[in-house]
Amino acid sequence: MKAVMVHAVDRYAGKTLLALGMGKYFQDMGWKIGYIKPVGTLPVWSEEHGLVDQDALFFSQALGLGDPMELMAPYVVTRDRLSLFFKGEEDVPGKALDAFRKISRGKDLVIIGGGIHL
């Protein structure tokens, strides 16, 4: 399994588009693709999934990925969740690593959606 992180230093730099193009390219070559955005910064409500990250939902729908949304975006930032994190009541790194391990099972490539800060 290979993993690649798509990251940028500015908003709207094309990270999701680049990741989607890469995912589609390798999917067309017959590779099994996974996607994870460890820290989702674009919370949206989905009737099917509840609170999810917009990029993860888009990626899942565009490539027809079957992984659970709670693994594709294990931590979606909201004001309440940030409060829990700063109080030490939420293990974001542990949750993200666990989700990555599960997402990567049986995959040839996992694309990791990054943010705007390294």
94 in helix, strand or coil? helix
Find residue 40's DSSP bridge partners: 76
What is the predicted pLDDT for the residue at 22?
96
pLDDT surpasses 60 at 118? no
pLDDT surpasses 80 at 40? yes
pLDDT surpasses 80 at 84? no
CB 16 within 8 A of CB 113: yes
Helices assigned H by DSSP within 1-118:
15-28, 54-63, 69-72, 79-86, 92-104
Fold (CATH) for 2-113: Rossmann fold (3.40.50)
Domains of the chain by residue range:
2-113
